[in-house]
């Protein structure tokens, strides 16, 4: 069984930080996964609340059996919050930003780790995140089109209740990220259509690879186009050695 969840959020009410390419990203990932035989669910804009994202991820991972594949794609804002349990060298927990972040807070990397632990052994779980992972971000001004949501916009209004668990490289999930922790992911436009720079390049690169290519091969292909002068973001792969050799989206 192959199960997919594609999340795309352009609309962030109460933040004045809307995006333009994230829904297209989710549609593009969903189309790719569908061609590859995945049963795909999409959460777009207001449907992508924190509760809905958590429930959908938990549902996929509890349904999956050994040797099944689960692929979750996220396109939207990324952020960080102060680390309160001293498990992060940079004293910040990275997080994804649901549609309702202004009222209900972010989805922390700690909680993602807890959710991924629900998967049975030998389930190939993949998270592809086209968002800013700004774990060491110190600048107060942002380049145009970045997918980073400053925590000051929601920390005073939202309460996040999340398990405090360390995200380790031995997580059950392989993470393919649009940039390194200290970088931004960019909204872009290709052929007059908004897309994430990472999503566009990742899918274009994927179509150049042979059927037996691995995630390590995919990352190398992506790095031929990113970073570049227009989009100075460095896609990153967090995975165990066996996960590096997994066949792509399979």
In a domain, 250, yes or no: no
In a domain, 240, yes or no: yes
The CATH number of the domain holding residue 76 is: 3.40.50.1460
Q: From its phi and psi, is residue 122 left (phi > 0), alpha (psi between -120 and 50) or beta? A: left
Torsion of CA 183, 184, 189, 193, to 10 degrees: 120
Average pLDDT of 154-158? 53
User: What tens digit of pLDDT does each residue of 171-188 get?
Assistant: 689 999 999 888 889 999
User: What tens digit of pLDDT does each residue of 75-99 get?
Assistant: 999 988 775 554 444 446 788 999 9
Q: Is 132 a catalytic residue?
A: yes
**Could you give the 3-state DSSP secondary structure of residue 61?**
helix
pLDDT at 152: 57
Give the mean pLDDT of the chain. Answer: 85
User: What tens digit of pLDDT does each residue of 25-54 get?
Assistant: 999 999 999 999 999 999 999 999 999 999
- From the list 22, 132, 133, 179, the catalytic residue is 132
Instruction: Extract the tokens encoding 188.
Output: 């872009």
Using 50, 70 and 90 to split pLDDT, how confident is the model at 142?
Answer: very low
Q: Tokens 């035989």: give the residue.
A: 37
In a domain, 208, yes or no: yes
Say whether pLDDT at 134 is over 70.
Answer: no
Instruction: Extract the tokens encoding 56.
Output: 């959908």
Say whether pLDDT at 135 is over 60.
Answer: no
Query: Could you give the number of structural domains in the chain?
Result: 1
- From the list 77, 99, 113, 133, the catalytic residue is 77
Q: Where are the beta strands (DSSP E) in the chain?
A: 2-8, 39-44, 69-75, 78-82, 92-96, 107-108, 124-130, 133-134, 173-177, 182-183, 187-190, 193-196, 236-238
pLDDT at 16: 82
In a domain, 210, yes or no: yes
User: What tens digit of pLDDT does each residue of 46-65 get?
Assistant: 999 999 999 999 999 999 99
Q: Which domain holds residue 164?
A: 2-244
CA distances from 225 to 23, 73, 157, 240 (A): 22, 20, 39, 24
Percent of the chain with pLDDT over 90: 70
Using 50, 70 and 90 to split pLDDT, how confident is the model at 168?
Answer: very low
Q: Is 77 a catalytic residue?
A: yes
Average pLDDT of 219-231? 97
In a domain, 249, yes or no: no
């Amino acid at each position: 069984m192959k199960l997919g969840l594609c999340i795309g959020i352009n609309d962030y009410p109460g933040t004045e930080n809307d995006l333009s390419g994230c829904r297209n990203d989710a549609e593009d990932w969903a189309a790719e996964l569908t061609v590859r035989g995945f049963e795909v669910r999409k959460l777009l804009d207001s449907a992508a609340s924190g509760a809905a994202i958590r429930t959908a991820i938990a549902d996929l991972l509890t349904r999956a059996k050994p040797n099944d594949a689960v692929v979750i794609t996220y396109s939207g804002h990324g952020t960080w919050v102060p680390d309160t349990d001293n498990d992060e060298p940079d004293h910040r927990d990275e997080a994804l930003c649901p549609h309702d972040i202004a009222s209900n807070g972010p989805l922390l990397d700690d909680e993602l780790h807890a959710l991924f632990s629900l998967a049975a052994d030998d389930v190939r779980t993949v998270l592809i995140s086209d968002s800013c992972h700004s774990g060491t971000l110190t600048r107060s001004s942002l380049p145009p089109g970045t997918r980073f949501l400053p925590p000051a916009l929601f920390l005073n209004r939202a309460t996040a209740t999340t398990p405090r668990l360390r995200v380790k490289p031995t997580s059950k999930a392989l993470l393919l990220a649009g940039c390194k922790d200290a970088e931004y992911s960019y909204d872009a436009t290709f052929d007059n259509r908004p897309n994430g720079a990472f999503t566009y390049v990742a899918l274009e690169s994927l179509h150049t690879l042979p059927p037996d290519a691995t995630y390590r091969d995919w990352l190398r292909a992506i790095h031929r186009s990113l970073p570049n002068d227009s989009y100075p973001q460095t896609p990153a792969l967090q995975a165990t050695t066996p996960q590096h050799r997994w066949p792509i989206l399979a």
